[in-house]
Chains A and B, each alone.
Chain A
Amino acid sequence: MLTKRIIPCLDIKNGRTVKGVNFVDLRDAGDPVELAKQYALKGADELVFLDISATLEGRKTMHDMVLKVAEHVNIPFTVGGGISSIEDVDALLKCGADKISINSSAVKRPELVNELANKFGSQCVVVAIDAKNVDGNWIVHLAGGTIPTKLNLFDWAKEVEQRGAGEILFTSMDNDGTKDGFANDALAKLSQELNIPIIASGGAGTIQHFVDTFKKGKADAALAASVFHFGEIPISELKEALKENNIAVRL
């Protein structure tokens, strides 16, 4: 049976992990390769690296990082942040990234999704969508939730699926950082209306939140950052608990 995936997300700036990472057995918590290797050992199913570098210089270091991760890590990983062209994607895939994720560049120019799917295949095209519930309507936002668009989450998700996205990474800006659980109603609706995998993001605080997002939210994968980085939820413990709740996981 296909299992539900647990995905730690690492923010990268100028080739280094940011957000304090608290792993006792790490020599260098700022080294994305060290951290990625640890996560692979501890049972993470995939990894996401999000480049938050603001400069061109910073972006260039991302290619070196991707190359090193591909060299040393034996599980799949996605790279996102600042990707807006076929050339950007080509370079990252050539460095060994398995999937790339696009967000605002797809909103600005939706044809990009078609172009990437046609050139590289849907399997490597993840479309990340950040949305907020505004008076009962889920509205897509850009720039970390600061800029609202006119797009409705569900319409936009269906559009990118038709354009060739292989997967949706949905972050609820209302839930992100709250540690109060994932946006399961919206996630369940996405899963019902779309036929591609959905990654839940934003709101992980407890093991029960993961159980709920797989059961109530029908998510195919769940992504989180701080609960993993600070060791609040060890991945092995999380997966054991999911199994006890009859959720298929890789152990």
Chain B
Amino acid sequence: MKLVIINYGAGNIKSIQFAFKRLGVDAILSNNPEEIKAADKVIFPGVGEANSAMQMLRASGLDTLIPTLKQPVLGICLGMQLMCKSSEEGNTKGLGIFNVAIKRFSNVVKVPQMGWNTISDLKSPLFKNIEEDAFMYLVHSFYAEACKEQIATTNYEFDYASALQKDNFYGVQFHPEKSSVVGEQILKNFLAI
């Protein structure tokens, strides 16, 4: 199993690498297109601001590579958001893999949403052996609207898409690498896809 975590300068990739190590898989950190293309599985991480993260992707040419990947790709947090059509954060054009817009929570609720919330209406092999209303750790100010590609739902201010899937592309708003044993099961499921 060759697992590559795309390393383009955005976010806490150490935690993701360690989470896979706990599962017995040594992930490679890389921004090399050939190495990413040759991987069995690809993780697309991201923490931080959408526009600057997108600029880093463009600078390394990864913005054109990622949508062409054929193996299973898992976007986490900002990684998932960048796989969408657009984001209100920094008025950013995304990779357009998922046909959904990223919007900001209103000030009716505290922003960012920070902490453990449930995922429900689970619809993907990614959630094999995961119970409905399992708790996941989330930290985010922007969310994916409810959409056709939605495979998990979370409620904060309203129902939104906390996970997405289209073909070989998967995206999760929550942090499986920080979500205790349930999160680790989701990472295991991804490895098994």
Contact = CB atoms under 8 A, between A and B. Distances in A.
Contacts of B114: 123, 166-167, 197, 220
B135 A250 contact: yes
Contact of B18 (A1, A5, A40, A70): A70
B137 A76 contact: yes
A75 B140 CA distance: 16
Contact of B47 (A94, A95, A121, A220): A121
A196 interface: yes
Interface in A90-128: 93-98, 118, 120-124
B124 interface: no
Interface in B4-26: 12, 14-15, 18-19, 21-22
Interface stretch (B35-43, B58-66, B179-187): B179-187
Given A70-B14, A74-B19, A98 B111 contact: no
Nearest to B139: A123
A151 B15 CA distance: 37
Interface stretch (B91-99, B115-123, B144-152, B165-173): B115-123
B117 A120 contact: no
Contact of A1 (B47, B118, B137): B118
A221 B47 contact: no
A165 B112 CA distance: 10
Contacts of A220: 110, 114-115
Interface of A: 1-5, 40, 45-46, 67, 70-72, 74-76, 93-98, 118, 120-124, 166-167, 195-197, 220-221, 250
Given A74-B178, A74-B181, A220-B115, 16 more contacts: A2-B156, A3-B117, A3-B135, A4-B115, A72-B18, A72-B22, A74-B180, A75-B178, A93-B12, A96-B14, A166-B112, A195-B107, A197-B114, A220-B110, A221-B115, A250-B135
Interface of B: 12, 14-15, 18-19, 21-22, 47-49, 107, 110-118, 135, 137, 139-141, 155-156, 175, 177-181, 183-184
8 contacts: A3-B115, A4-B115, A72-B18, A75-B179, A96-B12, A96-B14, A195-B111, A221-B115
